[in-house]
Amino acid sequence: MAQDTSQKLVETLFTFKRFVFSQIQKTKLLSPEKIIQFETLSFIKKQPQTKMKDLAKFFCITPPSVTSLIDKLEKQRLIIRNHDKKDRRNISLELTTAGETFLKTSQQLMHTEMLHLFKALTEKDKKNLINIYQKIYNQQEKNN
């Protein structure tokens, strides 16, 4: 029985994530490509000195796929590649001012949409959801 509940929870979380992204896409403000760019820029902002291999691991994709993604972001002037002076193969990624602006604008759009989605919850529901997420996060932090 516990396994069935856990399986249902996993399915529900994935379904909810897909639902949230579909709702955001319906606003026509963020396309699937822009959501991936948002995720990439968010990761780079949170992880100073991000390397290409870090993104490959985060997204579970191949290094050539990351290179393609980064090339597009660089072409749009949302990021820059910083080459290590001692070893030019060692490249870290950094947001540009335009990247920071894109990230901030995207965060605001997503925040607004998320608030709209959570209108269906009572204050008690919201507090319970916060507690559940914090419990999961705190347990994983202890394990890492």
- Residue 111: what residue type? H
**CA angle at 49 for the pair 24 and 86, rounded to the nearest 5°:** 145
Residues 13 and 19: their CA atoms lie apart, in Å, by 10
Residues constituting the chain: 144
DSSP three-state, residue 121 = coil
Classify residue 93 by its DSSP letter: E
pTM: 0.75
Two structure tokens written together for 109: 């759009």
Quick: pLDDT tens for 79-128: 999 987 887 778 899 999 999 999 999 888 888 888 888 898 999 999 99
Which residue segments constitute the domains of the chain, with CATH numbers given?
2-143 (1.10.10.10)
27-84 tens-digit pLDDT = 766 777 888 899 999 999 999 889 989 999 999 999 899 999 999 999 999 999 998 7
Compute the average pLDDT of residues 15-36.
79
